Amino acid sequence: MNHCIVALCLLACAARLPADEAAELKPKNAKLEERVDKLERKLGIVHDLEEKGESEPEAAPHNSHLFEHVFEGGSASVDLHMVGQFAAGYSSVKDRFTERLSAGGHDPKRRGFNLQQLELGFSGAIEPHLSLDAFVVFTLEGVELEEIFIKSLSLPAGLQLEGGYMLTEFGWNNPRHPHEWTWLDQPVINSRVLGPDGTRALGLRLGWLTPLPWFSELHFGMQMADDESATSFLGGGHLHGDEGSAESPGGFARVERDTESFNEFLYLLRWHNRAIVGEYTLDIGISGLLGPNATGESARTWLAGGDYLLKWRPSPETEQPFLALQGEFMYRCYQANAGTLSGDPNDPLDDIALAPTVLGDWGGYMQVLVAPVEKWAFGLRVDFADAFREGEVPHQADSQRDRRFRLSPVIQWSCCDFARMRLQYNFDHMQHLRDSTAHGLWLGIELFIGGHKH
């Protein structure tokens, strides 16, 4: 109906014009009608789906654009989404200890009720050239920009360039947002090595889809090393919410460094492979990260990691049933320069001189998740972390370097594609607390609004 009205109006206007002007209008009218046709087809699809109570097909995620403007060489579109994550539960240790026990920035860590985060996401594309993604997170502590980056869509030879403020593509868990995790909290080794909120910074990342016969992608990255989240490098205190912390891992004092050469940047290399054989999909990744740390002008840190995901899904038509085995392992080599461990600020003689040393930290997690029936999944995750090659400060007393073990079973119920509930129990064994064991039980609820699914 709208199309007919537009066409009649155009014809009426053309009939009242001189012949030469009407001739000039014909190609313009044709272009306008073509744009109207495209928009009406799109709106018609959405209207039909709404009447049936269905969501738009997963195979065409760009059909869920809320706004679109059509150009002669492509289109610009915007997707909006909102994700709310809430948790409630109990821990056998007091809140002031849970902050260090559950060091992830969005982990549930208070007895009672927790707002893990509210995320607003904006994804847009100027097809077929560029896309822009931005994510803003709200917590009770304030508002923070999680990511904003531009991505190319049409580079040749399997190349893709990303630039902006983004999570570092190290390992499996770090580049993913909390609502993309299966468990309610961040793995212990991620909080320890990559920081409470995940390592992220301004920079560039180049991806290359190699011509190998299976999916094989290389990532090369260069980012600033002084972002607050880069706790193994030039970032701030390594405890989330501990604004008074000015120490690096191992108790070494931080030394301010300027970006004066290419040695002050963070460099990433990641190789991700995927093979599909029948009902099985196997992902294997290897990651490396190198950059300066905050203990001195020549101090460096390098991280190495490996991750895997083996998934069995008998039917490609449905998401469930499935069985997934996953694991991730990391090692950190922290070259610390000579420094001073500050004691009583009113007593300079209470300071301790620290000799140069190399701190080593390692750990990982292994998890299994099985979904035997629709909407339900059951999982078990095992975390472990430890430290060696220490200097003057014993790692047994450091909550971010002591020996840790965590056992976490989880039950997940997804009532639909846009909401889920999870019940998780944590058994923790650690060295830095006098009572070396802790128990926690948490119930989490997630709600997704917009064109974004978990």
Does residue 143 share a domain with residue 278? yes
Does residue 87 share a domain with residue 49? no
Has residue 75 been placed in a domain? no
CATH of the domain at 264: 2.40.160.10
CA separation, residue 25 to residues 11, 18, 20, 29, 31 (Å): 10, 11, 9, 6, 10
Has residue 163 been placed in a domain? yes
* Highest-confidence segment of 10-24, 327-341, 383-397, 408-422: 408-422
Could you list the residue range(s) of the whole structural domain that residue 418 is in? 64-70+80-450
Does residue 97 share a domain with residue 19? no
Does residue 229 share a domain with residue 297? yes
Pick from 142-156, 206-220, 386-400: least confident: 386-400
**Closest by CA position to 68, among listed 31, 123, 121, 120:** 123
Has residue 271 been placed in a domain? yes
Per DSSP, what are the bridge partners of residue 304? 288, 331
Pick from 105-109, 329-333, 447-451: least confident: 447-451
What's the confidence (pLDDT) of residue 243?
A: 44
Helices 2-15 and 19-52 meet at what angle, rounded to 10?
Answer: 170
| Neighbouring C-alpha atoms within 13 Å toward the C-beta of 137 | 18
How many domains would you assign to the chain?
Answer: 2
Does residue 132 share a domain with residue 20? no
Tens of pLDDT, residue by residue over 142-180, are: 999 999 999 999 999 999 999 999 999 999 999 999 999
Has residue 391 been placed in a domain? yes
Tens of pLDDT, residue by residue over 248-281, are: 787 777 777 778 889 899 999 999 999 999 999 9
Has residue 369 been placed in a domain? yes
Q: How confident is the model at residue 353 (pLDDT cuts 50, 70, 90)?
A: low
The answer to whether the Cα torsion of 258, 259, 261, 263 is positive or negative is positive
Q: How confident is the model at residue 355 (pLDDT cuts 50, 70, 90)?
A: confident
Angle at 446 between CA 444 and CA 448, to 5 degrees: 180
Does residue 92 share a domain with residue 41? no
Does residue 302 share a domain with residue 377? yes
Query: The tokens of 74 are what?
Result: 């492509």
- 3-class secondary structure per residue, 76-130: EEEEEEEEEEEEEEEECCCHHHHHHHCCCCCCCCCCEEEEEEEEEEEEEEEECCE
Does residue 322 share a domain with residue 276? yes
Does residue 21 share a domain with residue 86? no
Q: What is the mean pLDDT of residues 418-443?
A: 93
Residue 432, pLDDT above cutoff 50: yes
Has residue 183 been placed in a domain? yes
**Closest by CA position to 274, among listed 210, 331, 190:** 210
Pick from 15-19, 31-35, 207-211, 363-367: least confident: 15-19
